[in-house]
Each structure stands twice: as structure tokens, then as C-alpha cells.
């Protein structure tokens, strides 16, 4: 049996009023290292605050529908460790990688702040892990996932599908 998707949306992790916040690593290019580190710390605090606020709104919405949330799932990147900040700031592709990790980290911290266990699964391993944990072939997982998105209507984007799979696995592996 497949779970249902109660809602879909995005948690806003970006303060559009703050300088450099949308892409903090990009904004740090050209700064001296100390200033870059401070910008990243400040941006991390803001992202975490916004993530916590967004997560609390999701919890309240679920509660208003008669549901309680027990776990948090997040799609992770490759998991390779980042090089030192000075190296990141010299390599444009690395800026994007670092920002992906930066925002995922804000979501994980917010979930932990809200006392949710976090299930993190890399995008590359998502369907292999789903097939294993759900004890059905990956093509069946994809079929069931497509059916889960039907009531929501189009578009049922890839990032939403991946988020639904990791949430499904978080639910499946939840002790509750």
C-alpha cells in the first residue's frame, strides 16, 4: 500500500532582501576568507530560521488535517566531502555543490531542531534503496509513485517525486 501525498510545496530558504543570501557561496567569491566565512555563517543562520519556520508551517497544516508527522526525509547529494572554503571559492562548479549542501544542511538542522528523526538518502541510491526497503522492484516503486502524484495534478516534477520517495521511506522506517 502506498502512502498519500497530503501537500506539496517548497520551504523558502532564501531571504530575498538579504545581500548575497540566495547564493551565499557565489556572493563570497572575491571576499577575503574571514569575510566569506562570516557571510556564510550569517546566511546559514537565516536559512536555518526560514527552514524551521517552513517546517513548522507544514506541521501545523498536517495537524489541521488530522495528521501528525513522525519523521523527516531529505534527498541528499553524492555525499563527497567538500574541500576547504578557499578551494570552493576558486571553482565555479564547486560553488553550486557547496550551496546544495548548504541548503540541505539547513533543512536537516531545522528538522532536528523540531525533534524529527531525519532519513537522508542520496539521489543516486533512492530507487535502489526504495526497492530494497519496500520489498518491490524499482519499476513498481515508480508506478506507485506516479499513482501517488495523480490526485495532485500536473506538474508532478522530478524533485517532488524524489521528495515523495524519501518521505515514503522515512515513513516506512519510522519507529512510530
pLDDT given for residue 44 in this prediction: 93
pLDDT given for residue 20 in this prediction: 58
List of long-range contacts for 85-93, beta carbons under 8 Å, 24+ apart: 85/28, 85/33, 85/36, 85/37, 85/40, 86/33, 88/25, 89/25, 89/28, 89/29, 89/36
Domains of the chain by residue range = 24-172
pLDDT given for residue 17 in this prediction: 75
CATH topology of domain 24-172: Nucleotidyltransferase; domain 5 (3.30.420)
pLDDT given for residue 165 in this prediction: 96
pLDDT given for residue 100 in this prediction: 94
Mean pLDDT per segment of 10 residues, for the chain of length 176 residues?
A: 84 78 91 96 94 95 92 88 96 95 95 93 95 94 94 93 94 74
Amino acid at each position: 500500500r502506498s502512502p498519500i501525498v497530503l501537500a506539496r510545496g517548497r520551504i523558502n530558504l532564501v531571504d530575498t532582501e538579504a545581500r548575497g543570501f540566495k547564493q551565499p557561496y557565489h556572493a563570497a567569491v572575491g571576499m577575503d576568507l574571514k569575510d566569506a566565512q562570516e557571510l556564510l555563517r550569517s546566511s546559514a543562520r537565516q536559512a536555518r530560521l526560514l527552514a524551521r519556520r517552513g517546517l513548522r508551517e507544514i506541521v501545523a497544516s498536517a495537524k489541521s488535517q488530522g495528521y501528525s508527522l513522525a519523521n523527516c526525509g531529505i534527498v541528499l547529494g553524492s555525499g563527497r566531502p567538500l574541500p576547504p572554503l578557499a578551494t570552493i571559492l576558486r571553482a565555479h562548479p564547486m560553488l553550486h555543490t557547496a550551496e546544495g549542501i548548504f541548503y540541505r544542511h539547513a533543512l536537516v538542522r531545522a528538522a532536528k531542531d523540531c525533534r524529527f528523526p531525519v532519513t537522508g538518502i542520496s539521489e543516486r541510491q533512492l530507487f535502489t534503496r526504495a526497492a530494497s526497503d519496500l520489498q518491490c522492484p524499482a519499476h513498481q516503486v515508480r508506478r506507485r509513485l506516479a499513482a501517488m502524484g495523480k490526485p495532485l495534478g500536473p506538474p508532478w516534477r522530478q524533485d517532488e517525486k524524489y521528495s515523495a520517495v524519501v518521505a515514503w521511506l522515512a515513513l516506512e522506517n519510522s519507529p512510530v
